[in-house]
A = this chain, B = another copy of it.
């Protein structure tokens, strides 16, 4: 027999001696005498773990099989956790578009999804995400018979939709639809009356030019646009063309559009030399605030300018900057990975 602990002066301390931490294993449903009581048992474990945590750190050992239950139990206090399998994480693009009706009824549109023009197989699970979300919330679902990503559209809530031709009319998405047919669909499924088309999105944007890196409504009648001021930059022609187009547009209410411009951050590149698609326009509205991606380093000056412009544009909202660099390396930003759900009661199936 090899050396035993006693020979090295080791001994088991009594349980009342000071602990570094308590370890605990999360319960295993299939091991249970009463698996039907699993939820109740999880509640008990939660209480126990919280009670121990009043005294000392806790380490939880967990099986893959049960970790969703564990997460739901703990996050339930702070976050809701849904186990919905997905291929990629951009919920703006594969999630539902929520709709509101009279009496605070809500419904949702399930677009077809093909991973940005069949760029990133597989996308079967992603194409099911909107349906699963709507089912979870018992919200009536309308199935749109065409490909669309949520990041490709912005609405002003008063009948106007803003989008880009380069994405919505792309050959890998809906080659069977004309521009007029697409407009009719958007009107039907989103309850808008007028579609404003820009030609192109940012150079190199793998979404084929989502509007949510280009421009958005700040309020009805007012559009925010990120504009490139450097004629040597490939985004110069694109953003100037868009700026000029919006200047000549009117919205569904017949208003000319007031334009607020934001500066483009300096070009940054991934380790492989690919240019990152940086845009302050990928900010996200939250209740009483705005989550704004900033990029730091060489972008410090434009980061600052973007925050100032948003503060002036939205004096009643708190501008909450976050470091957007890690996420943008994966191709999008805060707007791409979120999806807002309006308050309201589910619109019942008829």
Q: Which residues of A contact B (CB under 8 A)?
A: 1, 4-28, 31-34, 37, 40-41, 43-45, 47-49, 51-65, 67-68, 70-71, 74-75, 78-91, 94-95, 97-102, 105, 107, 109, 120, 129, 133, 142, 145, 154-157, 159, 187-192, 216-217, 219-220, 270-271, 284-289, 291, 318, 320, 322-327, 329-331, 334, 337-344, 347
Contacts and interface: CB of A to CB of B under 8 A. Distances in A.
A248 to B, nearest CB: 22
B17 A342 contact: yes
A16 B84 CA distance: 26
A81 B63 CA distance: 10
A337 B24 contact: yes
A343 B88 contact: no
Contacts of A80: 21, 57-60
A28 B89 contact: yes
A209 to B, nearest CB: 19
Contacts of A48: 291, 322, 327, 334, 337
A293 to B, nearest CB: 9
A205 to B, nearest CB: 14
A40 to B, nearest CB: 5
Nearest to A9: B101
Contacts of A344: 20
A74 to B, nearest CB: 6
Contacts of A220: 14
A48 B32 CA distance: 37
Nearest to A4: B188
Most B C-beta atoms less than 10 A away, residue of A7, A14, A87, A100: A14
Contact of A61 (B86, B97, B191, B270): B86
19 contacts: A5-B107, A11-B100, A11-B159, A12-B97, A15-B285, A22-B338, A25-B88, A25-B89, A31-B120, A33-B270, A34-B330, A40-B326, A44-B324, A55-B320, A59-B82, A61-B133, A63-B85, A64-B64, A74-B78
A37 B99 CA distance: 36
Contacts of A331: 33
Nearest to A21: B341
Nearest to A283: B15
Contacts of A54: 289, 320
Contact of A95 (B23, B70, B75, B334): B23
Nearest to A97: B12
A59 to B, nearest CB: 4
Contact of A339 (B13, B22, B45, B57): B22
B188 A5 contact: yes
A18 to B, nearest CB: 6
A336 to B, nearest CB: 10
A133 to B, nearest CB: 7
A294 to B, nearest CB: 12
Given A24-B339, A63-B85, A287 B18 contact: yes
A102 B9 contact: yes
Contacts of A1: 145
